[in-house]
Structure 1
Amino acid sequence: MENPHVLAIPYPAQGHVLPLMDLALCLVRHGIRVTFVNSEFDHKRVTESLSGEENVVPDRMQLVSIPDGLESWEDRNDLGKLTLSIFEVMPGNLEALIQKINQSDSDKVTCIVADESMGWALEIAKKMGIGAVAFWPASATQLAQKFSIPKLIDDGIISCTGSVLKNQMVKLSPNIPEMKPEHFLWACFNDLELQKIAFQTLCKTNVTVKLADWLICNTSDELEAATFTLFPQMLPIGPLLASNRLGKSVGSFWPEDSDCLAWLGKQPVQSVIYVAFGSFTIIDPTQFRELALGLELTNMPFLWVVRQDLTAETDNAYPKGFKDQIQGRGRVANWVPQQQVLSHPSVACFLSHCGWNSTIEGLSNGVPFLCWPYFADQFLNQSYICDVWKIGLGFERDANGIIPREEIKNKIEQLLTVGDYKQRAFDLKAKVMNSVKENGSSGKNFNNLVQWIKDDKEQ
């Protein structure tokens, strides 16, 4: 008798690897074997970030890699080049890997769980006669936007090549937040060639997703009910991390500064501003200095995650004397175990780029937000946070497009002292935590998925 064996493959970016890893760990906990397939480049980063850690990868999980087609020195932030290379090189490598695994009688791959953006992997699943699950790691509404491309073309909002024809606000349904066409997934790139590649890829994956036996999303019916009414084939199984508090993350690209947790433990309850912009955001040096000075002006303790490439010449970007001024009150780290930070009782609020993973992690811990979106779906997530769930505030920019230090200080004070942001965040946390329980909407969907994976291998 074969055991259920899932092969999981994310799109090679930090914001895609982490939620699929959360899903993989949940499957392992339910007795399913998982082979997690990163690109060679990302696999090296993940394993290096775990160096010195023992027993982090569970027994039923194996971390493996295949090439993405780029040389080790080439820039993975060149998304056009990376995406074209993935589609050209990875399918053959994945098929070869599955054939190699399947040489074992007892260990054959019985199901592929692929990031929806890697639709070619669903084609391989169908070709090899095994189960196919598409996983969408961002908000369901962002996926709904992608599925609505034919309607957006019919309505004359975009051309058949994705160019924005009418720069008017778009509403997919009465209860879904409005979207600006310039923030559409493909339209947010400045490079026209990259826009074209992104749009063509999204259209391709709109076709390949139809091959999936399941289409699952890392969200909750409580968060995006109107979207699930519009596209009932999407099934929420999240927030995954709410049912997967396993401590150490396995999918991080950078070593985590766990010492910050001890520092948080020395701060008063509900006193710390947590500031983090994810793995992709770049901040102008002038804006970086204003943010630093805004944090200094609050006189509150803060934990600020500053990636080495967050701004140009990061080490020299701080205002003169900043590090001396904030000594003992502020802590700067390269990368942190974010789920553990956000669940810490000392954290009062989250100043965030509003990536979906960060959004889910914050609201699952009842933390109110200050929204600083940078890219793509982050603007839509801000709309949910500020206008729908009402658990956060956005910033106003000046005539030069900069968020000034006084605005930063004032909005932090407003969030923490005016209105019921914290109470609403707490109430929302209770709802989403209920959704992942056995009898909750996400919990039921997840348990049905697990049962299907276990039953499917017997077909």
Structure 2
Amino acid sequence: MASSAPARPRPHVLLVAAAFQSHVNPLLRLGRRLAAKGLLVTFTTALRAGIRLGSGNEDEAGPGRGMLRVEPLRGCGLWAPDDPRFRDSDDMARHVEAAGPATLADLIRRQAEAGRPVTCVVANAFVPWALRAAGELGLPRGMLWIQSCALLSVYFHHVHALAAFPDLDSDAPGSVVTLPGLPELHADELRPLLIYVAEQDLWRQMLVADLGRAREAVSWVFVNTFDELEHAAVEGLRNNDLPVVPIGPLLDPPDATTDDDNGGCIEWLDAHAPRSVVFVAFGSLVKIDSDEVAEIAAGLAATGRPFLWVLRDDNRATLSTSALAAAACSCGDWGKVVPWCAQGRVLSHPATGCFVTHCGWNSTAEALAAGVPVVASPRWSDQRINARFLVDVHRVGVRAPAPLTRDALRGCVEEVMGGPEAEAMALRAARWKAEARAAVQGGGSSDRGVQAFVDQLTLIRRAGAGRADDLHVCPVQHEDE
């Protein structure tokens, strides 16, 4: 009997994340999706203190299942994870830009020597060095954009001078920009963005490097969104030859387990009625001062509704004793204040009825996927644009000032949870929950995008192709096209 030919190695995707938790999480979730489709996936980043990578390597056993491996960048002069110089984000970015290419090339070499040659590299935005290094090795490349397609459109049109943007200091009524698939965006919604910082700003330079040659350098621009949510923005970018592939929302499943008990949050929520709890969280970066803490505490107490408030340890450390006492006093028997929780699980809990949020994209996507109406209090970056969509386009919430005041918070919570439009907001939010769930399930719009990528890598692997120039990507078609 003739011996069968040895099986070809499965396609191997190397994921490279920027060393921020908000960048790590979505790329890891994409890695789990790809492993579930049968691919070998290696995740890497310049590991630094405070970054959570989960439990390590995950062998998804079973027919058609792949594996997700975690292997941090190391050697070639890269700082150790506990090096204090990592604490400054600019210093970190400059160092990784200098040391990263060599460490990545070494990692790719070691994968080949271990019998698992890399087929493709996918990197976050803001790590352009990884895409350059992969290109020098002749590997196909993709980029993951972790924010909305609307924001990607804003930056792409600005970098390529495809639209006229308002001047930085313009307050005229007509100071707006109109982009394909987006509502008119006003100057005050654009000012927090990197387009209005100095050209020598490091993060602006990385953004320009990422998007300036994106049409030529990458074969896929994955976006943490879903087609039904941002169809017009997706099509607007594809019409400008940007190979956009919506693959979101990139969220942990509602039944995902964590290493802790969420500070007792889930058990506490279990004791409350459906849609009765106000959830307050401002992400991992927003700083709030003593005055705002006191206002939030008083505003929550004034609602008379149970609330769960995430007040991070680094925020508590800067607060006055009186502010902390006011927060503790406001809780009584109906409130709970914690330093951290698994936000997706809290939003997915039936007791959560309203989300007071800074409108970061991850929080925005989680709120829509959980079907929870919002009180939007945006601060910077893309948050004002996200708030605009939540309130004016999707109509699943109301806008509150930043910083929050007690009267504004109380009034907004009441409007979302008990006002004349509250039930309509809840119904619209529930519809987005259904759309988000359908997108990531088998055959949904985002699942089709992931599957098309897997199919293309399988063809590359079988053909032994190695250069991105040989690859021609066709956008995923809608079922009704």
Q: CA separation in 2, counterparts of 1:362 and 1:3?
A: 36
Tell me the SS of whatever aligns to 1:248.
coil
CA RMSD of aligned residues (A): 2.7
Alpha-carbon displacement from aligned partner over 1:397-444 (angstroms, at most 9, x marks no partner): 6xxxx4320111111001111201111111122222222333332222
Contact 1:179 1:380 in 2 (8 A): no
Rg larger for:
2
Structure 1 residue 119, shift from structure 2 partner: 2.3
Matched residue, 1:82:
92
Instruction: Count residues with an aligned counterpart.
Output: 436
1:107-186 pair list within 5 angstroms: 107-150=116-159, 152=161, 155=164, 157=166, 164=168, 166=170, 168-173=175-180, 175-180=182-187, 182-186=190-194
Partner of 1:376: 381
Aligned residue for 1:453? 457
Q: 1:403 is matched with which residue? A: 404
Distance change >3 Å, CA 393–CA 429, structure 1 → 2 = same
| 36, 45, 55: which one aligns with 2:51 | 45
Quick one: which of 209, 217, 232 aligns to 1:226?
Answer: 232
Q: Is the 8 A contact 2:165 2:176 kept in 1?
A: no
Distance 1:310 1:15 in 2: 18
Q: Is the 8 A contact 2:375 2:397 kept in 1?
A: yes
Equivalent in the alignment of 1:421: 425
The two structures have a TM-score, normalised by structure 2, of 0.83
Matching residue of 1:24 = 31
CA distance in 1 between counterparts of 2:102 and 2:307 reads 47
Counterpart code for 2:231: A
CA 1:317–1:40 in structure 2 vs 1: closer, same or farther (change >3 Å)? farther
Q: % of aligned pairs identical?
A: 28
Q: Alpha carbons of 1:273 and 1:9: their partners in 2 closer, same or farther (altered >3 Å)?
A: same
Structure 2 unpaired stretches of 5+: 1-7, 62-66, 465-481
Measured after TM superposition, the shift of residue 29 of structure 1 is 1.2
- In structure 1, runs of 5+ residues without a counterpart are 159-163
Distance, in Å, in 2 between the alignment partners of 1:342 and 1:55 is 28
Task: Tell me which amino acid in the other structure corresponds to 1:2.
Answer: P
Q: 1:306 corresponds to which residue?
A: 311
Map 1:58-457; keep pairs closer than 5 Å: 60-66=67-73, 69=79, 72-74=82-84, 76=86, 78-105=88-115, 107-150=116-159, 152=161, 155=164, 157=166, 164=168, 166=170, 168-173=175-180, 175-180=182-187, 182-186=190-194, 196-209=201-214, 210-232=216-238, 233-241=243-251, 244-245=253-254, 247-248=256-257, 257=262, 259-310=264-315, 313-314=318-319, 316=321, 318-320=323-325, 322-396=327-401, 402-418=403-419, 419=421, 420-457=424-461
Distance in 1, matches of 2:394 and 2:204, equals: 30
Structure 2 counterpart of 1:161: none
In the alignment, the residues of structure 1 paired with residue 213 and residue 103 of structure 2 have an alpha-carbon distance, to the nearest angstrom, of 19
Whether contact under 8 Å (2:276, 2:305) holds in the other structure is yes
**Any idea what the Cα deviations from partners look like across 1:190-235, whole Å, max 9, x if unmatched?**
xx58x72222221111134331121110101221122112101212
- CA gap 1:96/1:290 in 2 versus in 1, 3 angstroms: same
2 CA distance for matches of 1:374 and 1:57? 40
Asked whether the equivalents of residues 279 and 307 of structure 2 are also in contact (C-alpha less than 8 Å), the reply is yes
Q: How far does the alpha carbon of each residue in 1:150-208 deviate from its partner, in whole angstroms, 9 at most, with x for none?
A: 455873646xxxxx36452322236434143653531577xx58x72222221111134
CA distance in 2, matches of 1:154, 1:373: 25
**Greater alpha carbon shift after TM alignment, 149-158 vs 434-443:** 149-158
Q: Is the 8 A contact 2:47 2:81 kept in 1?
A: no
Distance 1:342 1:349 in 2: 9
Residues 72, 188 of structure 1: alpha-carbon distance in 2 compared, 3 angstrom cutoff? farther
Once the 2 structures are TM-superposed, how far is the Cα of residue 69 of structure 1 from its aligned partner?
4.8
SS of match in other structure, 2:72? strand
Change (3 A) 1:376 1:442: same
Letter in 1 for 2:147: A
Distance in 1, matches of 2:452 and 2:162, equals 36
Residues 223 and 247, structure 2, Cα contact 8 Å, conserved in 1: yes
